[in-house]
Amino acid sequence: MQVASSLREALITGGKTVKDVSHDISRHVENKPTKLWWAAMAISVAVMAYGFYCLCYLLWEGVGVWGLNKTVGWAWDITNFVWWVGIGHAGTLISAILLLFRQRWRMSINRAAEAMTIFAVICAATFPFAHMGRLWLGFYWVFPLPNTWGSLWANFNSPLLWDVFAISTYFTVSLVFWYMGLIPDFAVIRDRAVVQGAKIRAQVYNALSFGWQGGAKTWMRYESVALILAGLSTPLVLSVHTIVSMDFATSVIPGWHTTIFPPYFVAGAIFSGFAMVLTLLLITRKVFKLEDYITIYHIELMNIIIIITGSIVGIAYITELFIAWYSGVEYEGYAFYNRVSGPFAWSYWSMMTCNVISPQLFWVKKIRTSLVATFVLSIIVNIGMWFERFVIIVTSLHRDYIPSSWTMFSPTMYDIGEYLFTFGFFFTAFLLFAKFFPVINMAEVKSIVKVASLEKKEDASH
Amino acid sequence: MDADKHFIVGIFDDEEVLLKGIGKIRGNGVKIHDVFSPFPVHGIDDALSIKRSRLPIAAFLFGMTGTSLALLMQIWMLGYDWPMIIGGKNHASLPPFIPVTFELTVLLAALGMVGTFFIASDMKPYKWPRQFDLRSTEDKHVMAIDLAINSGKTKDELRSLLRDSGASEVNEKSFE
């Protein structure tokens, strides 16, 4: 028996039927792309092309074209890497953790959020690979492959190697999870293509759907696969940013050498991930007219997650400051004194404003249900999260143990160009996804749409 | 493919009607070939007496394979094949090997289980499925009854049984 709660707001509005769901989502795949799509695509590809030039120049010339120096050996590259990996966290959190917690509101947003995860992880991976300078040798350095040096194996004691395994596993499992979700929806597009007489589309989407039929036994197996993938992805999503934080936390650099890093990084990752999901979905829902599927209620719930994770991040910042003083370790104390009042203090205070103060505005219901405010704040949060990684990496490094080594860091056009490359790639990939793949998980939404239609029937009978 | 296959196909609009219908049809001694739905219907596995999937067992076994392979690889590479002193610690010590072991456990469990799912469900990209009704992915629940298996009943008996069980439409479908 289906029970429609009067306490909770409807997840799907507009009295949609199961058939409407197929139509509303599939038509974007079936229709020709709009002018707006082409315009957005042209800009993304142009940005990606410029960035690709910078990337190629870096591979040709070497890492010296970045603004790095002897003291600051990690800067924008690793900042961008951690930032993109963090953004990727929301997708798996939404699809896996919220599935285990039976949060049905995830159903309208999980597809796009998982796509975002996959593209963000690809963007992230470009930075360590570019930083290796000689890509073709990089595979021997990061994967335990037999080689002509002995074989001299990769060092499994190094957190950098753990990161290689964490990121590649995370990418693969997220991709598989996302693809499994897409299979029944590809079959919907295939069957609609057969009806519409679009033979090539029917063939392509049949191949993509692996010949999905939707028999009772297949659905049962499919659900058990989804549940176990969610169970596997849940510790995975928490482990990935934990291991990323160990890249820093297992070192002896003041400001990095702290046990608080794993939970603090995971909270920050979810915080920035949800902000990016909001940025993308607010545009997608408007352009594709999906207001009945991604409602203000969905946006409000995501904003609540932003308040929680933003507050955890804020507490982590304050704890770090407190421990730097309370521990009595001079080096740690100086690292934080330098962050707050040194030459990069502007980046520290940008981070504090964007990450700690701005999300607190969401306590006001009017702000967290406003589309414009959410859009602006989601971008501010991601700027703040970029500064967080910049502050952690650069301010800890630029004041070395010996004052004669103290330097500053400023990016070159190649640092900026590579960051632009990832943006270009990310938006190009997301636009292609939005055009060729169903942006909302139709099968899942169909399973909850009946509650909404029951309400409609009752309204009609009264 | 063997000889021609003939099916009676019942179309259901609503999953609750469908679940009751399945009970009624099976109660009359008719064997149902399969029911195709646009979304998972809860309770259909009990109604059709489908046994629980053993995929979780497959996932566990693949995961254990991942754990063992990861541990063996790391201990052999750093402990025996080329021992190195790193940070003055043992050549092969367990704690630093945990992250990679965990990742490979998850990776093999996920890939192995999904691979098993495709094989068990006979799904492949180049296979065009038998489509009983194109609306089964859109919004209808489609029940297929194999005529050859249910030779005890005539076509008309099956048709009227489907109608009585709540099917909104009854068709015939043959495959070569």
Domain boundaries, chain A: 18-135+155-457
- Helix A110-131 to helix A135-142 angle (10° resolution) is 100
Inter-chain contact A221–B120, Cβ cutoff 8 Å? yes
- Which positions in chain A touch B45 (Cβ < 8 Å)? 216-217, 220
Over range A383-390, report the average pLDDT.
94
Chain A residue numbers with beta carbons less than 8 Å from the beta carbon of B123 are: 210-212, 218
B49 has a chain A CB within 8 A of its CB: no
The predicted model gives A399-410 an average pLDDT of 91
Cβ proximity of A426 and A283 under 8 Å = no
Laid out side by side, the sheet with B169-175 consists of B34-36, B141-146, B5-12, B169-175
* Three-class secondary structure assignment of chain B: CCCCEEEEEEEECCHHHHHHHHHHHHHCCCCCCEEECCCCCCCHHHHCCCCCCCHHHHHHHHHHHHHHHHHHHHHHHHHHHCCCCCCCCCCCCCHHHHHHHHHHHHHHHHHHHHHHHHHHCCCCCCCCCCCCCHHHCCCCEEEEEECCCCCCCCHHHHHHHHHHCCCCEEEEEEEC
Which candidate from A169, A232, A443 shows the least CB-CB separation from B38? A443
Q: For A151-187, give the DSSP string.
A: S----TT-HHHHHHHHHHHHHHHHHHHHHHHHHHHHH
The answer to whether the Cβ–Cβ distance between A216 and B111 falls below 8 Å is no
> CATH fold of B5-50+135-175, please?
Alpha-Beta Plaits (3.30.70)
Cβ contacts of B118 on chain A, cutoff 8 Å? 210
Compute the C-alpha angle A103/A109/A110, nearest 5°.
75
pLDDT at B85 over 90: no
pLDDT confidence tier of residue A177, bands split at 50, 70 and 90: very high
Q: Supply the mean pLDDT for chain B.
A: 87
Task: With CB atoms and an 8 Å threshold, state whether B113 touches A229.
Answer: yes
Residues of B in contact with A457 (CB under 8 A): none
How confident is residue A451, by pLDDT bands cut at 50, 70 and 90?
low
Q: How far apart are CA A6 and CA A171, in angstroms?
A: 40
CA atoms A101, A107, A111, A116: torsion sign? negative
Res. A419 pLDDT band, cuts 50 70 90: very high
Whats the size of chain B, residue-wise?
176
A236 contacts B89? CB cut-off 8 A: no
- With CB atoms and an 8 Å threshold, state whether B48 touches A232: no
Return the bridge partners of B7, or none: B146, B173
Q: Please, which residues 241-300 of chain A have a Cβ atom closer than 8 Å to chain B?
A: 243, 246
Q: For chain A, how big is the Rg over CA atoms in Å?
A: 24
Which residues in chain B are contacts of A443 at CB distance < 8 A? 38-40
| A230: closest chain B residue by CA | B110
Work out the end-to-end distance of chain B between its first and last CA atoms, rounded to an integer number of angstroms: 7
- pLDDT (0 to 100) of residue B87: 79
Q: A147-177: buried (b, 16+ CB within 10 Å) or exposed (e) per residue?
A: eeeeeebbebbebebbbbbbbbbbbbbbbbb
Residues 6+ apart with CB under 8 A from A340: A321, A348
Q: Give the pLDDT score at A9.
A: 67
- Reference A170, options B71, B55, B104; nearest CA is B104
Domain ranges of chain B: 5-50+135-175, 55-120
Residues of A in contact with B53 (CB under 8 A): 220-221, 224
Of B34, B81, B130, the CB nearest to A216: B34
Please give the pLDDT value at position B7.
87
pLDDT digits (tens, 9 = 90+) for A186-200: 999 999 999 888 889
* Per-residue pLDDT, A133: 79
Whether A166 contacts chain B with CB within 8 A: yes
Decide if A443 and B40 are in contact by the 8 Å CB cutoff: yes
Residue A220 to chain B, least CA–CA distance (Å):
7
Contact A22 B38 (CB under 8 A): yes
pLDDT at residue A407, rounded to an integer:
92
Q: Two tokens at A406?
A: 């103290």
CATH number of A18-135+155-457: 1.20.1630.10
Residues of chain A neighbouring B130 (CB-CB closer than 8 A)? 213
The pLDDT-based confidence of A452 (bands split at 50, 70, 90) is low
Each residue of B108-136: pLDDT tens digit?
999 999 999 999 988 988 888 888 888 88
* Higher-pLDDT residue of B10, A14: B10
Most confident of A102-106, A276-280, B6-10: A276-280
Q: How many helices (H) and strands (E) does chain A have?
A: 18, 0
Give the DSSP H or E segment for A421.
helix A413-436
- pLDDT digits 0-9 by tens, A142-170: 888 888 888 888 888 889 999 999 999 99
Residues of A whose CB is below 8 A from B129:
206, 211-213
Q: What is the pLDDT of residue A345?
A: 94
pLDDT band at A6 (very low <50, low <70, confident <90, very high): low
- CB-nearest to A211 from B111, B117, B124 is B124
Are A166 and B103 in contact (CB < 8 Å)?
yes
CB contact under 8 A, A161 and B100: yes
Per DSSP, helices labelled H in A197-295 are: 199-208, 216-249, 261-287
Confidence of residue A333 (pLDDT cuts 50, 70, 90): very high
Interface membership of B153 toward A (CB under 8 Å):
no
Alpha helices, H only, A31-104: 35-61, 76-92, 98-100
Q: What percent of chain A has pLDDT over 70?
A: 95
Residues facing residue B142 across a β-bridge: B11, B36
Which pLDDT score, from 0 to 100, does residue A228 have?
A: 92
pLDDT at A3 over 60: no
Measured in angstroms, the CA of A195 and the nearest CA of chain B are apart by 8
Q: Could you say which DSSP state residue A354 is in? A: I
Q: Which chain B residues touch A213 with a CB distance below 8 Å? A: 36, 129-131, 136
Kindly state whether A229 is in contact with chain B, defined as any CB-CB distance less than 8 angstroms. yes
Cβ–Cβ gap A215/B74 under 8 Å = no
CA distance A48 to A362: 34
Q: Are B78 and B91 in contact (CB under 8 A)?
A: yes
In the A/B pair of chains, how many CB contacts fall below 8 A?
Answer: 192
Residue B1 has pLDDT above 50, yes or no: no
pLDDT confidence band for A1 (50 / 70 / 90): very low
Q: Name the residue among B40, B87, B138 with its Cβ closest to that of A219.
A: B40
Is the pLDDT reported for residue A15 higher than 80? no
Contact check, Cβ <8 Å, B82/A152: yes
Nearest-CB residue to A220 (from B45, B111, B123): B45
- The pLDDT assigned to A459 comes to 52
- Would you say residue A336 has pLDDT above 90? yes
**Average confidence score pLDDT of chain A:** 88
Nearest-by-Cβ selection for A173 from B82, B106, B135: B106
Q: Answer whether residue A2 shows pLDDT above 50.
A: no
Instruction: Please give, rounded to a whole number of angstroms, the shortest distance from the CA of A329 to a CA of chain B.
Output: 23
Instruction: Average the pLDDT over each of A1-5, A100-104, A316-320, A348-352 and give the range with the smallest value.
Output: A1-5
Using a CB–CB cutoff of 8 Å, tell me whether B90 touches chain A.
no
Residue in this structure with the two tokens 């969610």, named with its chain if needed = A230
Residue A454: its pLDDT value, please? Answer: 52
